[in-house]
Amino acid sequence: MQITPMSGPFGAIARDVDLAADQSEATMRALIAALHEHQVLAIPGQSLDYDQYAAFGRFWGKPLLFLNEKDRKQEHPELIRIANPPSTPQRFRDGARFWHQDSSYEDVPASVTMLYGIETPREHGETLIASARLAYDALDAETKDRIENLVGLHCLGGSPALPGENIPCNAEAIARYGLTSHPLVLRHPVTGRKALYLSGSAYGVEGMNPEEGRELVGRLRAHCTLPRFVNTYKVETGDIFLWDNFQVLHSATPIEYSDEPGKRRLLYRISTKGIPALCAAEAAA
């Protein structure tokens, strides 16, 4: 297997690996280490069946069950269907077109998310990724000191929107998940590296007045998504593309809603919670 950097400020591509034939401990350890180092990882040219993809997903943590039950694949409920049929109601279109870290509105948020491209459009459908680790590293020492022990307050869709964002406001989901909190500066549970944790759900900061907290969250979200911390990846058919939610924010880009060949998209997402079982010893050390 060869791991080479992606073009852009971060990210890596793993080649010469066939996950349908090889999900050995050595291969998985190398992929996990690559994701932790490079923050996002593309593994092109795969031809897994759904059992094999679900097995691959379990190496990264405990797969979560997505809030919208209709998007779960029947035989594999941890596989979340992402498609663009023209029948999609307007209110559900481009629902991930805002900067976020997955499931940040839950007490235990998603650690890793992966997409597997089954069918992909010729144009559009890129994923934008922003490094909250590079963004943290670039802060001045005074800001780092000031935010070191702050706790972010989160609720689904709670963040102040940046230009062009479409932050979802789903009253039912907000009622279901309520409020939660996470450190504003998160230490990676395996590597210990620090990154900002803001997602699209941080709406304030514990102990600050609401306006001040919201202003700080908005400012840090804008900082994280400066072009120098952003990379783009388009998932193609056969790609598995993973990101580390403890190091990056991501945003979907607009896509045409169509079932025509060359325009339709079918991806299966898996998100996990917790750390890979293979990293348990490192994390405890």
For 155-169, the DSSP string reads -TT-SPPPTT-----
Identify which of residues 20 and 108 has a Cβ nearer to Fe ion in the complex. Answer: 108
Identify which of residues 17 and 133 has a Cβ nearer to Fe ion in the complex. Answer: 133
Least separation in angstroms between CB 250 and Fe ion: 6
Identify which of residues 96 and 161 has a Cβ nearer to Fe ion in the complex. Answer: 96
Whole-angstrom Cα distance, residue 194 to residue 88? 39
Cα–Cα–Cα angle for 128, 102, 195, rounded to 5 degrees: 75
Least separation in angstroms between CB 127 and Fe ion: 9
- Is 106 an interacting residue with respect to Fe ion (CB under 5 A)? no
Least separation in angstroms between CB 265 and Fe ion: 15
Least separation in angstroms between CB 102 and Fe ion: 5
Identify which of residues 3 and 246 has a Cβ nearer to Fe ion in the complex. Answer: 246
Q: Which stretch binds Fe ion (CB under 5 A): 7-15, 91-99, 176-184, 274-282?
A: 91-99
Tell me the torsion sign for CA atoms 16, 121, 131, 59.
negative
Least separation in angstroms between CB 149 and Fe ion: 27
Interstrand relation of 40-43 and 12-15 (parallel, antiparallel or unpaired) = parallel
> Element (H or E) spanning 224, and its range?
helix 210-224
Kindly report the number of other CB atoms within 10 A of residue 25's CB atom.
Answer: 9
Identify which of residues 96 and 266 has a Cβ nearer to Fe ion in the complex. Answer: 96
- Size of the residue set binding Fe ion (CB under 5 A): 2
Least separation in angstroms between CB 110 and Fe ion: 8
Return the residue matching tokens 């593994």. 43
Q: Which stretch binds Fe ion (CB under 5 A): 26-34, 99-107, 146-154, 179-187?
A: 99-107
Identify which of residues 17 and 64 has a Cβ nearer to Fe ion in the complex. Answer: 64
Q: Which residues contact 237 (CB under 8 A, 6 or more apart)?
A: 117, 118, 119, 120
Least separation in angstroms between CB 26 and Fe ion: 30
Ranges within 175-194 binding Fe ion (CB under 5 A) = none
Least separation in angstroms between CB 176 and Fe ion: 18
Whole-angstrom Cα distance, residue 34 to residue 37? 5
The one among 39, 40, 102, 152 contacting Fe ion by CB under 5 A: 102
Q: Shortest CA distance to 184 belongs to which of 212, 128, 211, 144?
A: 144
Q: Which stretch binds Fe ion (CB under 5 A): 48-56, 94-102, 178-186, 195-203?
A: 94-102
Identify which of residues 29 and 124 has a Cβ nearer to Fe ion in the complex. Answer: 124
Whole-angstrom Cα distance, residue 116 to residue 113? 10
277: left (phi over 0), alpha (psi -120 to 50) or beta: alpha
Q: Which residues contact 24 (CB under 8 A, 6 or more apart)?
A: none
Identify which of residues 67 and 96 has a Cβ nearer to Fe ion in the complex. Answer: 96
Q: Which residue is nearest to Fe ion (CB)?
A: 102
Could you list the residues that contact Fe ion (CB under 5 A)? Answer: 96, 102
